A and B are shown apart, each in its own frame.
Chain A
Amino acid sequence: MRKFSLSCLVSVIPFFLSGCAADTDISGYQKPMRELNRTESYEQVRARFVVYDPIEGTNRSVYKFNAKFDKYVFIPIVDAYDFVIPDYVDRRFANFFSNLGEFQNATNSALQAKPDKTATAVGRFAINSTVGLLGLYDPASSMGLSQHKEDFGQTLGYWGVEPGAYLVLPILGPSNVRDTVGMAVDMLAFSVIVPDKISDEAAYKIVQYGLKPIHTRANNSFRYHTTGSPFEYEIVRSVTSEGRRLAVEN
C-alpha cells in the first residue's frame, strides 16, 4: 500500500512541475523553447512586421473565406476569362477601365492640392477618350503623360488621417478603416457623375459589376496559399499596409 502511494506520488511530481507557472503562458499552454521575451531582438522584429489588427480573429476567418471563394468561384471564372478573351481584348478592357479611373485620379489629386497631377489626369482623359477611341487605347502614355493613381483613401492619408485598424474585406481583400471609407466615397462619387441613362443600361451593369472585377482579378497574379509560408496572413498584411503607406506618401 505504501509502495503504491510512493510510486503514485513520484509519478505525480513531474506533472506538477510541468504544470507550474514557469512552464505555461498566460493562456495556459506550455511555453515553447524559444519565446518572444527571451531577448529584446524579437520585439523589434515583431514591431517591423506587425500591423494594428484588433479584430485579427475575424479578419483571419474572412481571409480563409476569401481564399476559398477565390479557389472555387473567382479563379475558375478568371481561368475561363483568360481562355476566352484574347490578350489584345483584355488590354483594351484594361485601358478602358483605367481611363474611367482618371475621374477618381483627377478629383483626388485636386483634393490633395496637386494641380500638376490633376492636369495630367484631365489631359489623359481628354486624349484617351478621343484619340484613344473612348479609352480603348492609351496614346497619352506614349506622349509622356503617365498615369498617377489617386483615391480617396490616399486623400484622407494626405491630410493626416491614420489608416486605423487593418481589415480583411469579404471578396475585396486587405484594407483598413480609412481606405474602406475612401473606397466607398470614390464609388459613390463615381455613381453620381455617371448619368442615370447610362447607369441603368444592362450593358453598363454587366461591364461595371461583372467584367471589371473579373478583369481586375485576372490581372493580379496573387494566388492564396501558394507562398509556402504558414505566415502568409501576416506577410500579406505587412506588404499591403506598407504599399498603402507608400501610395499616400507619393
Chain B
Amino acid sequence: MHIARSITQGIKFSPAIVLMAGLLIGCTGTPPPSAQSFVRAEPVYDYPVDNAYAATIIGTPAEMKIRYERGKEPVERKLVVFPDRKIPEGFWYYDALNYGEMLQKQPAPLVYIIGGTGSGYKSRYTMALAKALFESGHHVVLLPSPTHSNFIVTASGNFFPGRGDTDARDLYRVINLIHDGLQRRIEITTTGLTGYSLGGWHAAFVSHLDAQEQHIGFDKVLLINPPLSLYSSIQRLDAMLYADLPGGIEDLGVFLNRAITRISHMGQETDALDFSNENFFFDTYQRLKPSNESMATTIGLTFRVAAANMIFTSDVMSKSGYIYPKDKPYLSTTSLNDYLAVSIGTGLTDYFQDIYKDHYLAAQPNLTADALIAQSSLAILQNWIAGNDRIGLLTNRDDIILASGELQMLERLFAGKAYIFPTGGHLGNVEHPAFAQRVTDFFEGRR
C-alpha cells in the first residue's frame, strides 16, 4: 500500500498522456461558438475494467483520468483538539491533527471530505474529490479518517474508533472547530459533506448528529461507495485476505515473495521496471493476468495493513494491553518487530470480538453484542434518511465491500437518492470524469 502511494505520488506524465489530456480538455473546455448552442457536455462513462477486483486495484487508467487545469494542491493545516492531551514520545511527529484546505478567493459553497479506512487527509481519493470540487468552485476541507493514526492520537475522544455515533462526535468536534475558524476568514455560502468508503458511512452519522445539534446545517450530504453494515464489510475484507492464502496468514510470506518475483521478472523482460509509469498497475494487470484470488488477497492485505495501523495505535493510546504491553513506555526507539507481526496477524473481526465489543458493552450496561453489530449498519438511520432529501448515495453495482443483497438494501434505503455506476468495483472509477461530474452535479443541485 505504501509502495503504491509513493508510486502514485511520483508519477510523471509521458508526452502521449499530456497530449491526450490536452485533447480531452480541448474537447470539453473550448468556449462554445454561441451562447445558444451551449450544452453542458456530459462525459461518457467508458470505464474499461469490468473485473471488480482489478478495478479496485488499478483505479482509472491514466489516459482516462480527469485532469485539472489549475493543478492546485491542498494547504496543510494543523488543529489542536485536546490541548491537555499527553502524547507518547513514540508519536512525537503528531503534535496536532493534520488536515487540508483548498479555498476560493470569492464567496463559495464549502464541502468537507472524510477519508476512508486508515487514510490521511491527502489520500488518492480525497485528493481526486477535492480537485473536482475545487475546480467547480467550492471551498474544500480534506479530513483524515477517524481510523487514521494521526486522528486517533490527536482527535479521538476514547481511542476506540469504528462506532458510528462515537466517531461522529469526534468528527463533529473537529469540523466545528475548523468551521468556526473558517467563518472568520472566508465567506461560506452553503456547507456540504461527503466521504468515501468508511468516510461515506461516517458522513451519514455526522450529518445525523448535526441534525440534532444544528451547529452547521449541512445542505448536501453525499455517501460515496459506503458499506451498508460496517461489521459485514469488515468480515468480507478479512475473508478476502485469505482468498489466496490457503494455509492462513503464515502463507503471506510465500504470497509476497511470489508477487515480487513475478513483477520483477516482468521488469527484466522489458529491461526496466518503470515504477514512474503512471499505468503501472494497469500494465501489470494486463501482462500478469492475476487470478481473482490473488487480487482479493492483495485488496485484503491493503486493508489489513490499514487495520493493523489502526488497532496498534488505538491499543497504545488506550493502554488496553491488547497487542502492546499496557505498562511499557512507547518511545521512538522502541523496537516494534513483534508488535508489527502480531498486528498484521490481527483482523478487525478479532479486534471487534476481543476488545472493542467489551469496551462498549462495559460502557453501556444494557447493550448486547448483536445490538452493537446492528448499530454498525446505515439501516439504523433508515427513518432519518427516508425523510431527508439533502442526502445522496453514489456507488458501484459491483462494489466488492458489499455482501450479496446489500446493494439492494442500500438502493431501498436511498430510494430516489442513489446513483449507481455499473462498474468500478470499490472506488476504482472515482478519477473518471463521469464520476467526478456526478459528484459536482450533486453539490451544485443539478441532480
Q: Does A11 contact B (CB under 8 A)?
A: no
Q: Does B213 contact A (CB under 8 A)?
A: no
A231 and B336 in contact (CB under 8 A), knowing A29-B328, A41-B345, A43-B341? Answer: yes
Contact in complex: B256, A48 (CB < 8 Å): yes
Q: Does A249 contact B (CB under 8 A)?
A: yes
Contact in complex: B250, A231 (CB < 8 Å): no
In chain B, residues 309-345, which have Cβ atoms closer than 8 Å to a Cβ of chain A? Answer: 309, 312-313, 315-316, 321-328, 332-338, 340-345
Q: Nearest A residue to B93 by beta-carbon distance?
A: A225
Q: Does B202 contact A (CB under 8 A)?
A: no
A221 and B10 in contact (CB under 8 A), knowing A32-B322, A47-B253, A56-B335? Answer: yes
**Interfacial chain B residues near A25, Cβ < 8 Å:** 325
Q: Does A196 contact B (CB under 8 A)?
A: no
A34 and B6 in contact (CB under 8 A), knowing A48-B253, A233-B336? Answer: no
Q: Does A36 contact B (CB under 8 A)?
A: yes
Q: How far is the CA of A230 from the CA of B327 in the complex (A)?
A: 18
Q: Nearest A residue to B122 by beta-carbon distance?
A: A226
Q: How far is the CA of A48 from the CA of B343 in the complex (A)?
A: 14
Q: How far is the CA of A8 from the CA of B336 in the complex (A)?
A: 39
In chain A, residues 47-97, which have Cβ atoms closer than 8 Å to a Cβ of chain B? Answer: 47-50, 56-57, 60-61, 63-64, 67
Shortest CB-to-CB span from A107 to chain B, Å, is: 20
Shortest CB-to-CB span from B342 to chain A, Å, is: 5
Q: Does B67 contact A (CB under 8 A)?
A: no
The stretch among B267-275, B403-411, B420-428 that forms the contact with chain A is B267-275
Q: How far is the CA of A48 from the CA of B305 in the complex (A)?
A: 14
State the total of A-B contacts with C-beta under 8 angstroms.
142
The stretch among A123-131, A155-163, A179-187, A234-242 that forms the contact with chain B is A234-242
Give the interface size class of chain B. Answer: 35 or more
Most chain A C-beta atoms within 10 Å of own C-beta, residue among B322, B342, B344, B355 = B342
Q: Does A246 contact B (CB under 8 A)?
A: yes
Of the residues A32, A57, A148, A234, contact of B337 by C-beta under 8 Å: A234
Contact in complex: A230, B336 (CB < 8 Å): yes
Q: Per-residue 0/1 for A212-233: is the Cβ within 8 Å of any B Cβ (1 yes, 0 no)?
A: 0000000011101111111101
Q: How far is the CA of A34 from the CA of B350 in the complex (A)?
A: 10
Shortest CB-to-CB span from A67 to chain B, Å, is: 7
Give the interface size class of chain A. Answer: 35 or more
Of the residues B118, B271, B340, contact of A146 by C-beta under 8 Å: B271
Contact in complex: B338, A61 (CB < 8 Å): no
Q: How far is the CA of A42 from the CA of B344 in the complex (A)?
A: 8
Q: Nearest B residue to A227 by beta-carbon distance?
A: B2
**Interfacial chain A residues near B150, Cβ < 8 Å:** 228
Contact in complex: A44, B324 (CB < 8 Å): no
Contact in complex: A41, B324 (CB < 8 Å): no
Interface of B with A (CB < 8 Å)? 2-3, 5-6, 9-10, 90-94, 118-120, 122, 144, 148-150, 248-250, 252-253, 256, 260, 264, 267-268, 271-272, 305, 308-309, 312-313, 315-316, 321-328, 332-338, 340-346, 350, 354-355
